[in-house]
Structure 1
Amino acid sequence: LEGHIHGALAATEGWAPPFLVLIASGGHTHLYDVPAWGTYRLLGATRDDAAGEAFDKVARTLGLGYPGGPEIERLAREGDPRAVPFSVPMRGRAGYDFSFSGLKTAAVRFVQEGYAPADIAAGFQRVVVASLVGTLERAARATGRQRVVVAGGVAANRALREALSASGLEVALPPAGLTSDNGAMIALAAESRWRRAPEPDPFDVPAEPYWPLGEAG
């Protein structure tokens, strides 16, 4: 996750904390406040499916290929984003958590009711983007952060990028080649840590198979 953050900062100049970070991928939808390098305060996370996972599941429901994000985005260009009555998940609730599992159930129902696949794709994409950007905007107002980093595979979505551009926030997004998991972003994170603390870790440091970002010092 730290690699995703540094991948998103690869094309920026002079960015330093404090800022917010939204990581939206197939495995994560997490929102962090970053007051200083190496300090991550979790503000909210998905309660069920991650955003990218929801894209994959709805794409499968529509008979599309994998990964689902690019397939949904392609089909959505042919549809009406307001034609299908999707609801924005978690709208009006306190806090900064996300929820996307119910959108697959809704998509199945809309397929059964005969809505056009392109309209379902467009409507689904619209509410996912509204959920991500709306929650991020609320967190920015509450914390006073104007700069936000948006990373992970979902950050490649054009509709999300357009909504972020219109939000009024100062946004850092990863270059196209650094949105999904890659070695370059891990190298960037390692370089950042080395520059802050150039003394290497000893070779007897034990491996940690699961290390939540908020616990990484």
Structure 2
Amino acid sequence: MQQHGRFITLEGGEGAGKSTQAQRLAAHLAQRGLPVLLTREPGGAPGAEAMRRLLLGGAGLDPMAEALLVFAARRDHLVSTIRPALAAGMWVICDRFTDSTRAYQGYGQGVPAAAIEALAGIALEGQGPALTLVLDLPVEIGMARARRRGVAADRYERLDAAFHQRIRDGFRAIAAAEPGRCAMVDATPGVEDVAARIAALVDRRLP
């Protein structure tokens, strides 16, 4: 009998190392002999990638319009990529998911939590991750790391430190409210140390 896959998301502020750690986790799970799909948000499907360009390119949308567009992209991603992979028995690792909307558009930009949850209910129909890894580090360290990447800053990275502190506070509040789903990970150590901690955590929580 074919087994369904598992859905893992990585969350956190700018410079927390989500993309790098998602790749490391995918490699770790592959070494366990598991079929893995690595994806990201906004994006992960052709329509969602087009919407990503609008969101990160500074289209001048107001926060509610951003939230609507994020969930439109998320719906496309879910239907086109995530659900088929899970149904095929793959373990899906996603760099950002609904918690990023809660943190960025909610805590960061003031979209009411009730509106975000209503959109989530419509777009996701109850689909969510089995485990969310929240990579946490001080704002000043994360922004310094983001600047060292050598790529042009997106419009969220260009926002001020107060915005990014609200993001961090939001992710910490989300993790504290849902300890059964979320696990906080200190992202201040080096890449290898963080990857080892994540691998051990996933092996323990999702054996």
TM-score range, shorter chain: 0.3 to 0.5
Larger radius of gyration: 1
TM-score normalised by length of structure 1: 0.34
The alignment's TM-score, normalised by the length of structure 2, stands at 0.35
Instruction: Determine which structure has greater relative contact order: mean sequence separation of CA pairs < 8 Å that are 6+ residues apart, divided by chain length.
Output: 2
